[in-house]
Structure 1
Amino acid sequence: MSKPGVLAIAEAANPEWVSVPLVGWSLATALREVAEVHIVTQVRNREAFLRAGLVEGRDFTAIDSEALARPMWKLGERLRMGQGKGWTMVQAINAISYPWFEHLVWRQFGAQIRAGAYDIVHRITPLSPTISSSLAGKCARAGVPFLLGPLNGGVPWPKGFDAERRQEREFLSYLRGAYKALPGRGATLRHAAAILAGSRHTLGEMPGWAQEKAVYLPENAIDPARFAGGGAPAPEGPLRAGFVGRLVPYKGPDMLIEAAAPLMRAGRLHLDIVGDGPMMAGLRAQAEGLGVAGAVTFHGWLEHERVRDVLGACHLFAFPSIREFGGGVVLEAMALGVPPLIVDYAGPGELVDAARGTKVPIGTRGEIIAGFAAALERLTQDRAALAATGQAGRDWVMEHATWAAKARQVRAVYDAVLTGAPLPQVFPS
């Protein structure tokens, strides 16, 4: 089958940023290998697209929605009361400003869509399932299949972690379920020809009739070129366990230090903690108080290449985060051949199984600490088994979770939509 023509809507897409914009950029550009893709993004990303070598007008179009987007972004920054916090507030603000972007997209591309210039219109970002799309109905009326997703987000806060929830200023998350009643949500799902669900949770929140046209496909993937080389774990000495992430309560770095303390005091384990954040001073004091300061290296924030080197020299990736939507950092660890030890909840829990990592059940803070302590004790006793698990994880990522693999998986959905075939299962359960 020849390559389909795809208008890829990626309002957030930027190769120089992280999180959602990097996902939007990575998927949209990976799809260019399997389809004839024209990317539509927001004007704030224009210069980064040009620096990456894309040609404006031919490869992408930048839509200037700044008249509304900029003041709404500034409002969101004030309301979230802290850099990197209040994610639900950001999505609420985006739900107000984003429709103007789609209005401008239709103004510029509506005539071409109605004329059949594109086989498929695919909205890649926003990833949030709370943000509806006016393009879905317009494309349906034009007879052009509209694809939505991957959608992910809104994983409930586990019981017993309200303090962490408040510290992240996630006050609106208590009301998040109300989005299901927002105008446009039902119409968006109804008019979509297919929906990519980035998590089992998001899939389960959809009405039954929408689940029938949904395909499970986690949104994160890796670029193999970014994970070539790097360090290698030492065959002798204490086991090295790495943590990578913001130093905030819900990521659990303090739980990890407490769980690992007995092994560190015994000289059997060393922790490498990569990242920065408001907990840094408290974590250093915690390590001092537990008598393990010499067995913990706080690397602070590092460039990606240095993160790769530090994590690649670890035998284990220890990550007790209790609320991760996608778990991209878990994929990155596996891509380096470093087996993950994670909490079995949300994104990481869906990416890890017994063949490629270790999962501790979600529970109270005390239960997670006890679970990690027991797992670390067991894992320190067999480095050969850890290495084999790490290799299995790396093999799995390279087969199923690179951006090239993700593009092929999405292409299979395109083909099914265009031929009327049943939607495929594209990602391993």
Structure 2
Amino acid sequence: MQDAAVPVSARPRVLAIAEAANPEWVSVPLVGWSLASALREVADVHVVTQVRNRDAFLRAGLAEGRDFTAIDSETFARPMWKLAERLRMGAGKGWTMVQAINALSYPWFERLVWQRFGGAIRAGEFDIVHRITPLSPTVSSSLAGHCARAGTLFVLGPLNGGVPWPEGFDAERRREKEWLSYLRSAYKLMPGREATLRNASAVLTGSRHTEGEIPARHRHKTIYLPENAIDPARFNRTAAPGPGPLRACFVGRLVPYKGPDMLLQAAAPLLRDGRMTLDMIGDGPMMPDLVGQARQLGAERGLTFHGWKDHREVQDIMAGCHVLSFPSIREFGGGVVLEAMALGVVPLIVDYAGPGELVVSGTGLKVPCGTREQIVAGFADALARLADDPSGLPGMAHAARDRVQSHFTWARKARQIAEVYAWLRSGRSDAPPVFF
């Protein structure tokens, strides 16, 4: 669907709820900030966020009171966060546990939001209340019911998360301390979930998996819209790898589910023969083991462990590569895949979850999601073929950049959501907009 023009006179007044939104952080907070900021181009937006983000908002030039409101829910949020940190059993682990604790603490934030803005919502000062974050579909919203009773449109999402662990990766699941993930589907029985979906005017889902978890009775107002996008001002280079062997990179935390060890095993023969170089960008608990694995495989030639890098440095390294080799087996959004595509770095990914949905025919290469041995073999074969014949890479790189520009910039995403707003305000007589 083409972006529709949004006349200034039709600009909706939007209260954007983004508890997690911060321009100086990554992951969900950066998504919350980026989407809320982009919506300013298509709507009159007032952002409501958590007080921990206040200083970053001010440093970004927003005026408190006029552009945003910071809600201080720390009385409840701080001890719950500390509890989650203890229960997750390791930095960067137990993500499902963290989400579960957040699902318990978040309602207090929404209660304070309603205390602050309930009168304005009832008075019709906002056309739409849009809860952008949390992204997790397990976190219900009391605001949905409040808005329904006030006659105000309520948009939920994009929601994403809970992609099942592929069969054969229980060892990685245990290493990630994801014990609670075995019980995750129990959230569907919580009464708040049905009330949230029933009272929402529209539900944006960031993945086909999450879309599939929405009950059929609510599908008529469910719209598939991946939550990730790129900022052309942040990723503004064009990849220009020099002559020589195939240049590949990996970007991400060095943790089991992202598969850096599988990548090293697959790339080892090419590294040993000098037919490929590999830049590993990121850090994490697997770093010492990966260094030892590379040594054991005799694959140290052409291999560089860069550790953590600023996004500008990441872009500089990636822009010297032909391929993003990213064998993650449980990626919800796959933002790094979009970043690579924006630079013209061809993604080689596992055809599962977020990355599998972002990479379409002609814009990258997919390896079927199978056993560990099958994924390693698939990546080894794909890399070997590219090293032998890289002639198809420029065409895929060009197509990847075009796809990002047409669908996955924050400005494009804001225009897509503007179409959702327009559909809701028109009375929803037609089917909801379709973007993919």
Common fold: TM-score over 0.5: yes
Gaps in structure 1 of 5+ consecutive residues: none
The amino acid that maps onto 1:218 is P
Contact persistence 1:215–1:423 (CA under 8 A): no
Q: Is the 8 A contact 2:274 2:301 kept in 1?
A: no
Percent identity, aligned pairs only?
A: 70
Match of 1:207 in 2: 215
Q: Is residue 231–residue 308 contact of structure 1 (8 Å, CA) maintained in 2?
A: no
Instruction: Specify the alignment match of 1:36 in structure 2.
Output: 44
- 2-side partners of 1:424 and 1:183: how far apart? 26
- 8 Å CA contact 2:423, 2:433 repeated in 1: no
Confirm or deny: 8 A CA contact 1:409 1:426 kept in the other structure. Answer: no
Distance 2:78 2:360 in 1: 42
Distance across 1 between alignment mates of 2:77 and 2:65: 22
Q: Is the 8 A contact 1:412 1:426 kept in 2?
A: no
Q: Which moved more, 1:36-45 or 1:78-87?
A: 78-87
Once the two structures are superposed, the pairs formed by residues 400-419 of structure 1 within 5 Å of their partners are 400-419=407-426
| Amino acid in the other structure paired with 1:75 | L
Deviations 1:131-158 (A, max 9, x none): 0000001100110010000000000000
CA distance in 2 between counterparts of 1:427 and 1:347 reads 16
Structure 1: distance between partners of 2:176 and 2:83: 18
TM-score by length of 2: 0.96
Secondary structure of the corresponding residue to residue 318 of structure 1: strand
User: 1:338 touches 1:390 (CA, 8 Å); kept in 2?
Assistant: yes
Q: Does 1:224 align with 2:235?
A: no
**Paired residue type of 1:334:** M
Query: Given residue 246 of structure 1, which amino acid in structure 2 is its aligned partner?
Result: R
Alpha-carbon distance in structure 1 between the residues aligned to 2:219 and 2:423: 16
Aligned length: 427
What amino acid maps onto 1:414 in structure 2? Y
2:159 matched residue in structure 1: 151
| 8 A Cα contact 1:344 1:360, kept in partner | yes
Which of 349, 353, 356 is the matching residue for 1:346?
A: 353
Confirm or deny: 8 A CA contact 1:10 1:126 kept in the other structure.
yes
Match of 2:20, SS? coil
| Cα distance per residue 1:222-266 (max 9 Å; x no partner) | 0001112366201x2111100001111111111111111122222
In the alignment, structure 1 residue 384 sits paired with structure 2 residue 391: yes
Deviation of 1:383 after TM superposition, in Å, equals 2.5
Aligned to 2:245: 238
In the TM superposition, 1:83-102 aligns within 5 A as 83-102=91-110
**Residue 107 of structure 2 corresponds to residue 104 of structure 1:** no
Cα separation, partners in 2 of 1:39 and 1:46, compared to 1, 3 Å? same
Select 2:283's aligned residue among 258, 276, 282. 276
> Separation in 1 of the partners of 2:24 and 2:431?
34
Q: What is the aligned partner in structure 1 of residue 264 from structure 2?
A: 257
1:11-66 CA-to-partner distances (Å, cap 9, x unmatched) read 00000111111000000010000000000001110110000000000100001111
Using the alignment, how far apart are the partners of 2:418 and 2:386 within structure 1? Answer: 39
**Which residue does 1:18 correspond to in 2?**
26
In the alignment, the residues of structure 2 paired with residue 334 and residue 305 of structure 1 have an alpha-carbon distance, to the nearest angstrom, of 16
Cα distance in 1 for residues equivalent to 2:238 and 2:380: 28
**8 Å Cα contact 2:239/2:343 also seen in 1:** no
SS in 2 for 1:302: coil
Contact 2:319 2:343 in 1 (8 A): yes
Question: Hey, what does 1:27 align to over in structure 2?
Answer: 35
SS at structure 2 position matched to 1:224? coil
Q: Which of the residues 184, 187, 210 maps onto 2:195?
A: 187
Instruction: Assess if the C-alpha contact under 8 Å between 1:270 and 1:295 holds in 2.
Output: yes
Residue 423 of structure 1, CA deviation:
4.3
- Residue-by-residue CA offset, 1:404-425 (whole Å, 9 max, x unaligned): 0000000000000010233443
2:297 matches 1:290? yes
TM-score, normalised to structure 1's length?
Answer: 0.98
Q: Please report how far the alpha carbon of residue 384 of structure 1 lies from its aligned counterpart in structure 2 after TM superposition.
A: 3.0
Residue 175 of structure 1: aligned partner: 183
Q: In 2, distance between residues paired with 1:399 and 1:36?
A: 24
How far 1:380 moved relative to its partner?
Answer: 1.8
Moved more, 88-97 or 417-426: 417-426
Shift of 1:283: 1.0
Query: How far apart in 2 are the matches of 1:353 and 1:52?
Result: 35
**2:4: which partner in 1?**
none
Distance 1:425 1:380, change over 3 A: farther
Q: Does 1:3 align with 2:5?
A: no
The Cα shift of 1:354 comes to 2.2
Which of 334, 343, 349 does residue 341 from structure 2 map onto? 334
Q: CA deviation at 1:285?
A: 1.2
The residue identity in structure 1 corresponding to 2:209 is H
Q: 2:368 aligns with which of 347, 361, 367?
A: 361
Runs of 4+ residues deviating >3 angstroms:
423-426
Deviates more, 1:212-221 or 1:283-292: 283-292
SS of the equivalent of 1:226 reads coil
Cα root mean square deviation, aligned: 1.0
Distance 1:13 1:264 in 2: 41
Instruction: Report the more deviating stretch, 418-427 or 87-96.
Output: 418-427
> Is the contact between residue 199 and residue 217 of structure 1 (CA under 8 Å) also seen in structure 2?
yes
SS in structure 1 at match of 2:83: helix
The separation in 1 between residues aligned to 2:418 and 2:105, in whole angstroms, is 30
In structure 1, give the amino acid aligned to 2:261: D
8 Å CA contact 2:221, 2:432 repeated in 1: no
Q: Describe the superposition over 1:357-405 as per-residue Cα deviations: whole angstroms up to 9, x where unpaired.
A: 0000000000000111111111223323112101110111011100000
Q: How does 1:61-140 map to 2 (within 5 A)?
A: 61-140=69-148
